[in-house]
Amino acid sequence: MDDRIATTAEAHEDSVLPRRIEVRTEGTANAEPLPEAVTQKPVEQKSPAEWAYERLVLYIQAFEKQLDGDQEVAMGFVGAEAGVLRIEGLGYFDPDIVTFYGSDAAGVRTQLIQHVSQLSVILRAMPKEVEQEAPRRIGFLLAKELGAS
Q: Is residue 148's pLDDT more than 70?
A: no
DSSP H or E stretch at residue 59: helix 48-64
- What span, in angstroms and rounded, lies between the C-alpha atoms of 93 and 97? 5
What is the per-residue pLDDT across 27-76, written as a single tens digit (0 to 9) for each?
555 567 788 888 888 888 899 999 999 989 988 988 888 898 889 899 98
Question: For residue 6, what pLDDT is reported?
Answer: 60
List the chain domain ranges. Answer: 8-146
- What span, in angstroms and rounded, lies between the C-alpha atoms of 125 and 132? 16
Question: For residue 149, what pLDDT is reported?
Answer: 54
Closest to 103 (Cα-Cα) out of 57, 66, 55, 136: 136
Residue 72: Cβ within 10 Å count? 23
Q: Is residue 139's pLDDT more than 80?
A: no
Quick one: 101 exposed, middle or buried, by C-beta within 10 A (0-12, 13-18, 19+)?
A: middle
- What span, in angstroms and rounded, lies between the C-alpha atoms of 107 and 56? 23
Q: How confident is the model at residue 94 (pLDDT cuts 50, 70, 90)?
A: very high
**Residues contacting 127, CB < 8 A, separation 6+:** 70, 71, 72
Which pTM does this prediction carry?
A: 0.72
